[in-house]
Amino acid sequence: MYTVRCTRRLLRRMRADISHEELVPSTALGDWYANQLNVGSIRLVHFMSDRSLLSVIVPFKTVKTVTDRHIVALRELLEELGLDPSLIGAELNEMQSRSIGKTQSRSALGSMRDLAINAWWFIDRNPQASMLEIAYQLAEVPCGPLGMAYPREVAATLMVERHG
């Protein structure tokens, strides 16, 4: 169980029922923050784990399926990062139950904004890059709130501690 914590702008687009119940996530990567990411005419949704700052980017397309596509993209990223399939399966199994809520952490939003700038820069220089390539690049960005650690390393450590 986890919560997708959407910005106001994204919540308006989603027209989803917001959970006002504060649930403690059972996933290693915690809750996921979500925001629109627009690069020129490209419309994307940026998801970021609040614990590891690992990012996943998916095309906006239809807003009704964006959270399902987030999980598919996360599986691809975790596999690309070389995590053990049993750890990936355990994490994604925990993510089958989710709620939609408002953002809560200004720190998480600040990190998300910084990573979005990195994504924008990478997409601008590599317009043919896949969503997986963009997410992989963001996993390699050292982040101040993590003590300049890489989101890929923090995510792997959290998943081993929780599911290993």
Looking at the predicted structure, is the pLDDT value of residue 91 above 80?
A: yes
Alpha-carbon dihedral angle through residues 132, 161, 88, 64, given to the nearest 10 degrees: -70
CATH code of 120's domain: 3.30.420
pLDDT reported for residue 42: 87
> What DSSP string runs through 35-79?
EEEEETTEEEEEEEETTT--EEEEE-S-GGGHHHHHHHHHHHHHH
Contact predicate 55/123, CB 8 Å: no
List pLDDT tens digits, range 105-145: 999 999 999 999 999 999 999 999 999 999 999 999 999 99
What mean pLDDT, rounded, does the chain reach? 94
Confidence of residue 47 (pLDDT cuts 50, 70, 90): very high
Whether the predicted model's global pTM rises above the 0.85 cut: yes
pLDDT of residue 15: 81
Per the structure, the count of domains in the chain is 1
Q: Is the pLDDT of residue 100 over 80?
A: yes
Q: What's the confidence (pLDDT) of residue 62?
A: 81
Give the model's confidence band at 61: pLDDT under 50 very low, under 70 low, under 90 confident, else very high.
confident
Q: Which domain holds residue 155?
A: 2-163
The pLDDT > 70 percentage for the chain reads: 100
d(CA 108, CA 51) in angstroms, rounded, equals: 9
Q: How many CA atoms lie within 13 A of 40 on its CB side?
A: 8
9-41 pLDDT, tens digit each: 999 888 877 777 778 999 999 999 999 999 888
